[in-house]
Amino acid sequence: MNDAGNSARELSESAGRAAEHLERKLANARRAEQNYANGAAGEVAVAEALAPLTAAGWHVLNDREMPGGGNIDHIVVGPGAVIVLDAKAWNTTLEVRNGQLYASGWNKSRELEQLDRQAQAIRGVVGDNVLINQALVITTQPDFEPQFVGTAGILGLDALFREINETPTVFTSAEVDSMLAKLIEAFPASGTSPALGSGLQVVDGVEPSELFNRANRFLYLNQWRKHGKHNVYLKDEHGEELGMKDLLSGSIRLTHPDDNLAQAVLAAATSTGVELKPSDLPKLPIDVRGGRLLGMFGRIYTTAMIGSIWTGKGKRYLYCTLANPTEGVFDLGHVDMSNGWVKPKSQGPVSRDRGPAERYLALLRDRYPTRG
């Protein structure tokens, strides 16, 4: 009886821990949803702040798609400048220190790198001789006074109109119209161009079930290398930051310390992708309707769908891995993110109970987070 009681108690405690983990995941998901809502509200606030500029010959392109994925919050074109703006709903303490931007101690170099990539894409359209100004607009701190990190400005909403309106005239009306026409064509409004999955290559077309979405977690690794540092950052499909790894020292920092799957993926992250073994992965039960947890008494556990971005020689690939603690780790192949084309490593099902690699490649491609 004691052994039976102890066994029951251990199972009860295990189920309790799993339930707590799932409750925390639900809370994280709700926070992510709120973050997106705040971000969208911030973009609207920036658009409203810029609207009066039209009377002075300025044009504002809001929420534009980047070639190959991603979006640009705002492109401003007028007699004084071409400007790319990224709206940030940050409620944290911001500090510029030693030429770096920090939000409550977190280095925000990656956000500035993203902004610079957007500026480079715009420059490629309007011409190398045109200086592209760039700025992060802190929508939740309107009185944040303008500061600079390198060539990027950081400012609150209150200063946005003034800073743009006071720029001296450098372009003629004809030059502004010409640049505007090129930018409208190169960066379509979000939602008006075909999704990658419905463009050059449609894969499978099968809509994932609710159980599939619960059983598979989509994670994305992005590398950052600069100033003698080499880090890799982990996000989920909603764009939530899950943590980072210093590839030089091996140290890991998690957003949520109890996120064992994020810990395992970051621990396996390398400069060339991810090197995982099934034994590296935690066995996380799957939450299903009715409060049941699959995996506690069987062999059904959460699968990690991992995408690792690689850029070089003008190319941008998403290398993809499927990893499960009992089924194994599978190299699925890669996606060319410039056109959405999937390149599966193998044909046919990747395992007895799994679909073809191209299906998972398409899902990893289509769920890649596009907002920062």
- Amino acid at position 165, single letter: N
Exposed/middle/buried for 91, CB within 10 Å: 0-12, 13-18, 19+?
A: exposed
Query: DSSP string of 175-217?
Result: HHHHHHHHHHHHSPBTTSS--GGGTT-----PPPPHHHHHHEE
- CA 137 to chain centroid, in Å, comes to 18
The length of the chain, given as a count of residues: 372
Q: Shortest CA distance to 261 belongs to which of 274, 242, 240, 275?
A: 242
* pLDDT tens, position by position, 121-168: 999 999 988 999 999 999 888 899 999 999 999 999 999 999 999 999
Tell me the mean pLDDT per 10 residues along the chain, length 372: 53 52 51 47 81 89 80 92 92 87 87 91 91 93 91 92 92 93 86 47 60 88 88 92 93 94 95 90 74 49 93 88 92 89 86 84 88 44
Q: Shortest CA distance to 80 belongs to which of 180, 183, 171, 181?
A: 171
- Specify the pLDDT at position 297: 41
In whole angstroms, what is the distance from residue 201 CA to residue 340 CA?
7
In whole angstroms, what is the distance from residue 354 CA to residue 323 CA?
12
Question: Does domain 46-186 correspond to CATH entry 3.40.190?
Answer: no
* Residue whose pair of structure tokens reads 């701190």 in the numeric block: 141
In whole angstroms, what is the distance from residue 123 CA to residue 143 CA?
30
- Specify the pLDDT at position 12: 53
- Specify the pLDDT at position 24: 55
- Specify the pLDDT at position 29: 45
- Specify the pLDDT at position 67: 74
Q: Shortest CA distance to 186 belongs to which of 326, 82, 307, 42?
A: 82
In whole angstroms, what is the distance from residue 337 CA to residue 102 CA?
30
- Specify the pLDDT at position 228: 86
In whole angstroms, what is the distance from residue 343 CA to residue 329 CA?
18
**Rg value, the chain, Cα:** 23
In sequence order, what are the residues at sequence separation of 6 or more whose Cβ sits closer than 8 angstroms to the Cβ of residue 322? Answer: 303, 304, 305, 306, 329, 330, 332, 350, 354, 360
Helix extents (H) in the chain:
2-50, 109-126, 157-165, 173-186, 210-215, 260-268, 357-366
**The dihedral of CA 342, 347, 350, 353: what is its sign?**
positive
- Specify the pLDDT at position 299: 52
* pLDDT tens, position by position, 207-231: 677 778 888 999 999 998 888 889 9
The domain limits of the chain are 46-186, 196-366
In whole angstroms, what is the distance from residue 197 CA to residue 228 CA?
37
Exposed/middle/buried for 100, CB within 10 Å: 0-12, 13-18, 19+?
A: middle
CB-facing half-sphere around the CA of 99: CA atoms within 13 A: 3
- Specify the pLDDT at position 126: 93
- Specify the pLDDT at position 136: 94
